[in-house]
Amino acid sequence: MEMISFEQAFDIVMSTGFRTGPETISYTDSLNRILAGDIASDMDLPPFNKSSVDGFACRKSDLGNDLEILETIPAGNWPSKSVGTNQCSRIMTGAPVPDGADCVIMVEETEMLPAGLLRFRSSFKKENIAKKGEDVRKGDLVLRAGKIIRPQDIAVMASVGQISVTVSKMPCVAVISSGSELVEPDKIPGLSQIRNSNSSQLMAQIERAGASGKYYGIAADDEAQTLSIVEKAISENDMVLLTGGVSMGDFDFVPSVLERAGVKILFTRIAVQPGKPTTFGLHSKSVIFGLPGNPVSSFIQFEMLVRPLLSKMMGCEWRPLNIFMPMNDKFVRRFADRMALIPVKITDDASVLPVEYHGSAHISALPEADGIISMPVGKKIFEKGEVVSVRPI
Ligand code: AMP
Ligand code: MG
């Protein structure tokens, strides 16, 4: 199968139509989920004319005069008197402004006179009243479907009484590591073995992407064994992620196993560095990625291809944050036949520094990185000071 550009691969991945359905959960459990229905306000906000300071509610036209104090209005209480000429009521922040008053003067700007009267000792600046409905009107849309729910969205749900919310179901994602050299992290590897770091990395990436991961263990480099794990994973999940076994080695069975499992393979090579052997296919029940075995490649291809698709499956528009920053130094590469994805650090002076990185197996390079930059096909040099786009990771 021919090698395609990263942009083509991205378009193929994103054009798969699969979409998870909705479910209703408590708003307090909705952090990081994708909102699946619009939310409107059930009331005006603020619900009444509200004092935004501690002070005295009175009439602007009386500010030069000595004012009689009628009552004290704590937050959570309704005023019992309306304010007339040369009158005022002591009022606390958040309390309803009494009828008749058109401003609240701050305590700090007043003076108490011996006879229990009050005098304004400043010049008028503003009314200090948050008007009923000035933030939100009853029925206004306050949160739109398709957004990732953050703490500030949960506050909005709380204020409009939306205590149960409709979110997209989390895609179920299977993780399988393939390779006869792998042992689980709690084991001491034998002479020719290494610890499996991809599975736990992918499970964490899946969780961060707002999906639900399920680990299926290590498949040895054996076609029959890999096929049976893959078939089970496909039947139980919306997406299957395999790592390893996609290169050109004698025991790289993953593409042929996928075909035997009934997967229609759409690509097996992307002109990207790292991550060239990334494989993608469709099954009637789920979508399948064969990610490279190298942990850095697997990490980066998840961020660049898998994560956008997971977002789309949940009805969320993929809008990654891109930060534009200058290169801290000149960066040169020898070959430009593939798009390079380069892990970078953001320095304290807001410039971009590629992390020291010896290739796609250099796993300890990634914790240093704050983001990924991409260098297009055909480009070999980023000059010092050249502005690049950083995708935070
Ligand atoms: P492969 O794609 O199977 O040829 O693997 C490429 C490289 O990645 C080899 O050096 C593997 O040992 C390594 N590798 C494969 N799978 C994993 C894994 N799950 N965790 C850590 N390294 C891996
Ligand atoms: Mg292998």
Q: Is 275 a pocket residue for ligand 1 (Cβ < 6 Å)?
A: no
Pairing of strands 50-51, 129-130: antiparallel
- Cα(293) to ligand 1 centroid in Å equals 4
Q: Is 184 a pocket residue for ligand 1 (Cβ < 6 Å)?
A: no
Q: Is 360 a pocket residue for ligand 1 (Cβ < 6 Å)?
A: no
- Cα(338) to ligand 1 centroid in Å equals 21
Distance of alpha carbon 290 from alpha carbon 240, whole angstroms: 8
- Cα(251) to ligand 2 centroid in Å equals 7
Q: Is 196 a pocket residue for ligand 1 (Cβ < 6 Å)?
A: yes
Pairing of strands 67-73, 87-91: parallel
Instruction: Say what the pLDDT of residue 318 is.
Output: 87
The three state secondary structure string of the chain is CCCECHHHHHHHHHCCCCCCCEEEEEHHHCCCCEECCCEECCCCECCCCEECCCEEEECHHHCCCCEEEEEEECCCCCCCCCCCCCEEEEECCCCECCCCCCEEEEHHHEEECCCCEEEECCCCCCCCEECCCCCECCCCEEECCCCECCHHHHHHHHHCCCCEEEEECCCEEEEEEECCCEECCCCCCCCCCEECCHHHHHHHHHHHCCCEEEEEEEECCCHHHHHHHHHHHHHHCCEEEEECCCCCCCCCCHHHHHHHCCCEEEECCECEECCCCCEEEECCCCEEEEECCCHHHHHHHHHHHHHHHHHHHCCCCCCCCCEEEEECCCEECCCCCCEEEEEEEECCCCCEEECCCCCCCCHHHHHHCCEEEEECCCCCEECCCCEEEEEEC
Instruction: Say what the pLDDT of residue 253 is.
Output: 87
Is residue 130 a contact partner of residue 52, using CB atoms and an 8 Å limit? yes
Q: Is 246 a pocket residue for ligand 1 (Cβ < 6 Å)?
A: yes
Residue in 135, 116, 122, 138 with CA at minimum distance from that of residue 52: 135
Is residue 296 a contact partner of residue 366, using CB atoms and an 8 Å limit? yes
Ligand nearest to the CA of 181: 1
Distance of alpha carbon 234 from alpha carbon 285, whole angstroms: 7
Pairing of strands 141-143, 39-40: antiparallel
Q: Of 175, 176, 194, which is best to mutate to test ligand 1, by the most ligand atoms within 8 angstroms of its C-beta?
A: 194
Distance of alpha carbon 296 from alpha carbon 363, whole angstroms: 6
- Ligand 1 atom 6: residue of nearest CA: 293
- Ligand 1 atom 17: residue of nearest CA: 293
Q: Is 293 a pocket residue for ligand 1 (Cβ < 6 Å)?
A: yes
Q: Which pair of structure tokens corresponds to residue 59?
A: 């009439």
- Count Cβ atoms below 10 Å from residue 102 Cβ, excluding itself: 15
Q: Which pair of structure tokens corresponds to residue 45?
A: 């906000």
Is residue 230 a contact partner of residue 223, using CB atoms and an 8 Å limit? no
Distance of alpha carbon 367 from alpha carbon 211, whole angstroms: 22
Is residue 196 a contact partner of residue 218, using CB atoms and an 8 Å limit? yes
Q: Is 234 a pocket residue for ligand 1 (Cβ < 6 Å)?
A: no
Q: Is 193 a pocket residue for ligand 1 (Cβ < 6 Å)?
A: no
Question: For residue 118, how many C-alpha atoms fall within 13 Å in the half-sphere facing its CB?
Answer: 26
Q: Which atom of ligand 1 is nearest to the CA of 178?
A: 16
pLDDT along the chain (393 residues), means of 10: 96 94 98 97 97 98 96 98 98 98 97 94 96 97 97 98 98 97 97 97 97 97 96 98 91 91 96 96 95 95 98 93 96 96 96 88 88 97 98 95
Distance of alpha carbon 223 from alpha carbon 348, whole angstroms: 49
- Cα(329) to ligand 2 centroid in Å equals 36
Residues present in the chain in total? 393
Distance of alpha carbon 261 from alpha carbon 243, whole angstroms: 17
- In single-letter form, the type of residue at position 231 comes to E
Rg over CA atoms, the chain: 30
CA 221 to chain centre: 36
